[in-house]
């Protein structure tokens, strides 16, 4: 009970700080009016726009109104098209979920087994090959990989669509561009965690007892390496969000990453604020899920809390 | 090798064959192709004036229509207009009488009448305190009365004789909106669900993502050649180019000039460059803000004009695709007003420029040039060359590239990037010379204003506005232009270019920045 209370208070405080900081930074760093109305806007238009969006009020008044509404679940309307921001986000969210889900699945299904195999065959050509590929995947900026793939698969060979999200074929290139980096990270960390566990004396004991290698790896080593791997799996979800901003732009994928970029460039403050809140809330929940998984995976953490 | 493009082509061919075999008949929507266009951006609203923008005007000409229309097909200078929703017009003193086309339907099934045309230009919409689209005020500032006198006849009374009304009514302020629907939903909602009388009707608009349109079956004119249009944002130019080459898109816009050679190598892609009625320029901050601004001295400004070899720079950056207008406002777009033999009072002459600099108190102080990143193709490159040439005559300029106009407008600055449209009255120098530099213009009244028009400029401007007959108007224009050049609050650099790519098998004529997908402008084979 104490655990849950402490976590809930910390989560609420984190989100409050995020909302407040975002509000202050966005409202004081630039004026959205010219971006919204264009460089030739007349003074009268500017005046009307400010009135319409309460930008003529003091910062503190704007903040109190915003917080009051946010507590009731109302994060305002998009400056761009006047629709409630959560309606705009809800429209884009399934696309990001689709792309993110496929990329994440790709990263987990490729990265973790590759890391385990690299650790089990440490020092072999197989190990080195996996590590080279994972370093390349980790080091290649995903915008570069994306453009390279468009060049090869859409422009030269013309076997995949260049951009958009209207069929399952459209997800292949962006998911690979996004997932390869994450798979590289996961493979490297899984390998390190497995190597550490494999050097423990209880692994030697298992071997002495005659437990078969595959069983030793899956039932003795992997559960003990899982703590580090789960932590990384949580952290790379943050990378996933950052990656979607770039990959969705390169592939014209209509998800929330691209929404964030276009909202920032058009100074749609309400949408930017709501998106930052949604992303922060997602990260807080992911961290909570990771903490809960620790409690499942490691009995010692249950006893200590 | 069978690729996505070839497979698509075979399927289209088979469909066409099957349809032909079915015998001649009325062109049905499903027999026409659906076109996909990769665009760089979509403006946030499509209401005609609140959404006035390059990215909005490019598209909305397909679902809105004006009283008259610039005839880009037969006259690529953009100086000629032809009837559109107005079929005839006549002037009697200060009153213009327009007869509107009968039987024209809005996309919601309501007939367009003179009431809608009058509301479009009304005080309520443009000029009142609570105007729906206040930007329209500067385009209709001389209007005294707009009234529907009959179901299809409209009268516009101006405060003085205005010989250019039919030309003016080809502009964005004259895109006719349905009065009842507009008032019912309000301008914000109208901008998201726009209704006009054009050959296509809007079916979906998501700013920041996509707009789709279907052919309007009750259109009064020739049927739209495409069954539907999808305008989808593809932010990266590499994605747009790849999309057309791969056959995912039929058109792509805004192909950077330095990438065009590469695009020309593809046989199945046609590249189209066209100049816009718009000149890229920079403004001098001529005001003592900051206090020590050395550019308040006109000699320094003239030195900077004479210190850059703009013809060579433009030739190097754009080849023959565009040009540098050496003499401000003596633009080829102006028909009879244009004088190709006019002598440039400030030609490129680095020696003369250096001598002018020496006459001033300029002490080598750094001048800041605010530039909006990537807004005008090749602008930063041109600026680098110009800065090097200014350094040779002893003027120290530093460019500060910022992400948007909000930042560019923040003082202090000495030079500011901008551009100047010329299309408000096709074939007449009114817009760049007076509309955009008069005391009420943003350049002379906004927080970031760059000049205070001289009394002489204001006086000559009033004379120019009053001038009706061509010779009188031309004399007034020349005097006003000379006064502007004596002050020189800016420099016109080149005529802006718009670039497009489309797949082979499409015969498309560009109409400046507008993408007209109808009539003679679009033929699909």
**Half-sphere exposure of residue B304, counting CA atoms within 13 Å on the CB side?**
31
**pLDDT at B7 (0 to 100):** 53
Residues of A in contact with B38 (CB under 8 A): 163, 252
Nearest to B258 by CA among B375, B370, B381: B381
Domain count, chain A: 2
Which secondary structure element, helix H or strand E, spans residue B463, and what is its range? helix B455-466
The distance of Cα A16 from the centroid of its chain, to the nearest Å, equals: 20
Residues of A in contact with B207 (CB under 8 A): 80-81
Q: How far is A150 from chain B (nearest CA, A)?
A: 7
Residue A107 shares a structural domain with residue A256: yes
Residues of B in contact with A37 (CB under 8 A): 50
Nearest to B49 by CA among A38, A82, A263, A269: A38
Cβ contact (<8 Å) for A252 and B3? no
Query: Would residue A83 count as lying in a domain?
Result: no
Structure tokens at A102: 């496929």
Query: Would residue A37 count as lying in a domain?
Result: yes
Residues of B in contact with A30 (CB under 8 A): 404, 406-407
Residue B53 DSSP SS3: coil
Cβ contact (<8 Å) for A254 and B404? no
Cβ contact (<8 Å) for A162 and B192? no
The distance of Cα A286 from the centroid of its chain, to the nearest Å, equals: 10
**Nearest-angstrom CA–CA distance, B303 and B351:** 10
Is A42 in the B-facing interface, judged by CB distances under 8 Å? yes
Q: How far is A262 from chain B (nearest CA, A)?
A: 6
Query: Would residue A276 count as lying in a domain?
Result: yes
Q: How do beta strands B269-284 and B415-421 pair?
A: antiparallel
Q: Which residues of chain B have pLDDT under 70?
A: 1-30
Query: Does residue A270 contact residue A52 with C-beta atoms inside 8 Å?
Result: no
Query: Would residue A80 count as lying in a domain?
Result: no
Residue of A51, A158, A244 to mutate, interface with B, max B Cβ within 10 Å = A158
Query: B90: exposed, middle or buried (C-beta count within 10 Å: 0-12, 13-18, 19+)?
Result: exposed
Residue A97 shares a structural domain with residue A54: no
Which of B4, B235, B418 minimises the CB distance to A252? B235
A169: closest chain B residue by CA: B4
Residue A236 shares a structural domain with residue A199: yes
**Nearest-angstrom CA–CA distance, B414 and B297:** 12
Structure tokens at A265: 């460039």
Counted residue by residue, chain B has a size of 525
Q: What are phi and psi of B501, to 5 degrees?
A: -130, 140
What's the pLDDT tens digit per position in B462-509? 999 999 899 999 999 999 999 999 999 999 999 999 999 999 999 999
Is A39 in the B-facing interface, judged by CB distances under 8 Å? yes
Peptide bond into B412 cis (omega under 30): yes
Residue A46 shares a structural domain with residue A167: no
Residues 6 or more apart from B28 whose CB is under 8 A from it? none
Query: Does residue B377 contact residue A6 with C-beta atoms inside 8 Å?
Result: no
Residue A228 shares a structural domain with residue A108: yes
**Nearest-angstrom CA–CA distance, B417 and A226:** 57
Residue A219 shares a structural domain with residue A285: yes
Which secondary structure element, helix H or strand E, spans residue B69, and what is its range? strand B68-70
Residues of B in contact with A160 (CB under 8 A): 4
- The partner residues of B272 in beta bridges, in order of sequence, read B500
Q: How far is B243 from chain A (nearest CA, A)?
A: 5
Interface of A with B in 81-100 (CB under 8 A): 81-83, 91
Structure tokens at B1: 């090798």
Q: What are phi and psi of B421, to 5 degrees?
A: -75, 160
Interface of A with B in 247-266 (CB under 8 A): 249-252, 254, 258-259, 261-263, 265-266
Query: Would residue A85 count as lying in a domain?
Result: no
Q: Give the structural domain span for A202.
A: 91-303
Residue A147 shares a structural domain with residue A32: no
- The partner residues of B81 in beta bridges, in order of sequence, read B70
Interface of A with B in 103-162 (CB under 8 A): 147, 150-151, 154-155, 157-162
Q: What are phi and psi of B371, to 5 degrees?
A: -130, 135
Cβ contact (<8 Å) for B135 and A252? no
Structure tokens at A49: 């726009």
Residue A235 shares a structural domain with residue A298: yes
Q: How far is B454 from chain A (nearest CA, A)?
A: 21
Structure tokens at A137: 């995947």
Which of B5, B50, B236 minimises the CB distance to A249? B236
Cβ contact (<8 Å) for A80 and B239? no
Q: How far is A31 from chain B (nearest CA, A)?
A: 6
Q: CB pairs below 8 Å between A and B: how many?
A: 131
Q: How do beta strands B153-158 and B200-206 pair?
A: unpaired
Residue A59 shares a structural domain with residue A207: no
Residues of A in contact with B232 (CB under 8 A): 164, 252
Q: How do beta strands B367-372 and B415-421 pair?
A: parallel
Query: B387: exposed, middle or buried (C-beta count within 10 Å: 0-12, 13-18, 19+)?
Result: middle
Cβ contact (<8 Å) for B406 and A32? yes
Query: Does residue B291 contact residue B283 with C-beta atoms inside 8 Å?
Result: no
Alpha helix (H) ranges present in chain A? Answer: 2-29, 32-37, 43-52, 59-71, 85-120, 125-139, 142-149, 172-198, 201-208, 213-215, 222-250, 256-265, 269-297, 299-304
Query: Does residue B269 contact residue B280 with C-beta atoms inside 8 Å?
Result: no
**pLDDT at A302 (0 to 100):** 64
Cβ contact (<8 Å) for B406 and A162? no
Q: CA torsion, points B389, B318, B377, B277, in degrees to nearest 10?
A: 110
Peptide bond into B290 cis (omega under 30): yes
What's the pLDDT tens digit per position in B296-340? 999 999 999 999 999 999 999 999 999 999 999 999 888 889 999
Q: How far is B358 from chain A (nearest CA, A)?
A: 36
Residue A190 shares a structural domain with residue A257: yes
Cβ contact (<8 Å) for B234 and A252? yes
pLDDT by position in tens, chain A (length 305): 677 888 889 889 999 999 999 999 988 877 788 778 877 777 778 888 888 888 889 999 999 999 999 989 899 999 988 899 999 999 999 999 999 999 999 999 999 999 999 999 999 999 999 999 999 988 889 899 999 999 999 988 889 999 999 899 999 999 999 999 999 999 999 999 999 999 999 998 998 998 898 898 888 898 888 888 888 888 888 778 888 999 999 999 999 999 999 898 888 999 999 999 999 998 888 888 888 887 777 777 666 55
Query: Would residue A274 count as lying in a domain?
Result: yes
**pLDDT at A298 (0 to 100):** 74
Q: Residues A48-80, buried b or exposed e (16+ Cβ, 10 A)?
A: bbeeebebeeeeeebbeebeeebeeeebbbbbb
**Nearest-angstrom CA–CA distance, A269 and B423:** 33
Report the complex ipTM: 0.81
Residue A66 shares a structural domain with residue A159: no
Q: CA gyration radius for chain A? A: 24
Residue A40 shares a structural domain with residue A168: no
Query: B26: exposed, middle or buried (C-beta count within 10 Å: 0-12, 13-18, 19+)?
Result: exposed
Query: Would residue A187 count as lying in a domain?
Result: yes
Nearest to B429 by CA among B463, B483, B392, B476: B476
Query: Would residue A170 count as lying in a domain?
Result: yes
Is A173 in the B-facing interface, judged by CB distances under 8 Å? no
A45: closest chain B residue by CA: B134
Q: How far is B341 from chain A (nearest CA, A)?
A: 33
Cβ contact (<8 Å) for B137 and A38? no
The CATH number assigned to the domain holding A101 equals: 1.10.3720.10
Last residue of a domain, which of A16, A42, A71?
A71
């Amino acid at each position: 009970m104490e655990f849950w209370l402490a976590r809930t208070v910390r989560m609420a405080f984190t989100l409050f700080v995020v909302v407040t900081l975002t509000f202050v930074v966005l409202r004081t760093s630039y004026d959205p009016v010219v971006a919204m109305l264009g460089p030739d806007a007349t003074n009268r238009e500017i005046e009307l726009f400010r009135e319409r969006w309460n930008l003529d009020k003091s910062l503190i008044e704007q903040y109190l109104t915003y917080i009051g509404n946010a507590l009731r679940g109302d994060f305002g309307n998009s400056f761009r098209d006047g629709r409630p921001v959560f309606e705009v986000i809800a429209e884009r969210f399934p696309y990001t979920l689709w792309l993110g889900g496929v990329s994440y699945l790709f990263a987990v299904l490729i990265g973790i087994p590759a890391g385990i195999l690299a650790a089990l065959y440490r020092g072999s050509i197989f190990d080195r090959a996996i590590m080279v590929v994972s370093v390349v995947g980790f080091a290649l900026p995903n915008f570069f990989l994306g453009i390279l793939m468009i060049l090869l698969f859409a422009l030269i060979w013309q076997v995949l669509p260049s951009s958009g999200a209207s069929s399952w074929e459209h997800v292949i290139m962006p998911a690979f561009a996004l997932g390869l980096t994450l798979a590289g990270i996961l493979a490297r960390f899984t390998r390190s965690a497995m190597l550490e566990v494999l050097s423990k004396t209880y692994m030697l004991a298992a071997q002495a007892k005659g437990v078969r290698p595959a069983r030793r790896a899956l039932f003795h080593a992997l559960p003990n390496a899982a703590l580090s791997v789960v932590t990384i799996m949580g952290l790379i979800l943050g990378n996933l969000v950052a990656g979607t901003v770039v990959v969705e732009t390169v592939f014209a994928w209509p998800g929330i990453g691209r929404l964030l970029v276009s909202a920032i460039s058009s100074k749609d403050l309400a949408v930017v604020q709501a998106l930052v809140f949604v992303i922060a809330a997602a990260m807080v929940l992911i961290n909570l899920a990771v903490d809960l998984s620790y409690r499942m995976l490691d009995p010692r953490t249950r006893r200590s809390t | 090798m069978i690729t996505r493009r070839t497979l698509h082509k075979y399927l289209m061919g088979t469909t066409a064959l099957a349809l032909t075999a079915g015998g001649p008949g009325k062109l049905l929507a499903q027999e026409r192709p659906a076109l996909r266009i990769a665009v760089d951006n979509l403006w946030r609203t499509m209401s005609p004036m609140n959404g006035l923008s390059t990215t909005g005007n490019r598209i909305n000409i397909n679902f809105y229509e004006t009283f008259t229309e610039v005839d880009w097909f037969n006259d690529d200078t953009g100086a000629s207009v032809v009837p559109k929703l107005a079929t005839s017009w006549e002037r009697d003193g200060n009153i213009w009488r327009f007869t509107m086309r009968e039987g024209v339907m809005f996309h919601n099934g309501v007939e367009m009448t003179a009431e809608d045309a009058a509301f479009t230009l009304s005080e309520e919409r443009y000029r009142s305190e609570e105007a729906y689209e206040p930007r329209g005020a500067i385009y209709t500032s001389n209007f005294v009365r707009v009234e529907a006198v009959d179901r299809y006849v409209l009268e516009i009374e101006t405060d003085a004789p205005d010989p250019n009304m039919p030309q003016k009514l080809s502009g964005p302020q004259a895109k006719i909106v349905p009065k009842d629907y507009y008032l019912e939903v309000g301008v914000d909602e109208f901008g998201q669900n726009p209704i006009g009388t054009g050959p296509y009707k809007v079916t979906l608009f998501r700013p920041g993502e996509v707009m789709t349109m279907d052919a309007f079956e009750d259109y009064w004119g020739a049927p739209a050649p495409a069954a539907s249009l999808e305008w989808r944002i593809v932010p990266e130019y590499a994605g747009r180019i790849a999309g057309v080459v791969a056959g995912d898109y039929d058109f792509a816009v805004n192909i950077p000039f330095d990438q065009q050679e590469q695009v020309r190598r593809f046989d199945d892609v046609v590249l189209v460059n066209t100049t816009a009625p718009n000149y890229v320029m920079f403004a001098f901050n001529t005001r003592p803000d900051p206090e020590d601004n050395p550019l308040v001295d006109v000699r320094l400004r003239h030195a900077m004009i004479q210190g850059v070899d703009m013809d060579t720079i433009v030739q190097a950056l754009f080849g023959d695709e565009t040009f540098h207008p050496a003499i401000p406002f003596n633009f080829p777009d102006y028909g009879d007003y244009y004088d190709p033999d006019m002598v440039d009072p400030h030609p490129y002459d680095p020696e003369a420029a250096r001598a002018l600099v020496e006459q001033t108190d300029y002490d080598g102080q750094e001048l800041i040039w605010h530039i909006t990143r990537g807004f005008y193709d090749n602008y930063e490159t041109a600026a680098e060359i110009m800065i090097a040439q200014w350094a040779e005559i002893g003027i120290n300029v530093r460019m500060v590239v910022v992400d948007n106009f909000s930042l560019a407008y923040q003082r202090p600055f000495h030079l500011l990037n901008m551009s100047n449209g010329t299309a408000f009255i096709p074939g007449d120098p009114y817009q760049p010379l007076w509309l955009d530099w008069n005391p009420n213009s943003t350049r002379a009244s906004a927080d970031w204003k760059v000049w205070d028009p001289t009394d002489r400029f204001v006086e000559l401007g009033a004379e120019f506005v009053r001038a009706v007959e061509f010779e009188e108007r031309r004399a007034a224009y020349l005097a006003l232009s000379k006064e502007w050049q004596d002050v020189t609050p800016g420099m016109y650099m080149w005529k802006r270019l718009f670039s497009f790519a489309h797949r082979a098998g499409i015969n498309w004529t560009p109409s400046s920045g507008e993408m007209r997908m109808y009539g003679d402008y679009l033929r699909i084979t």
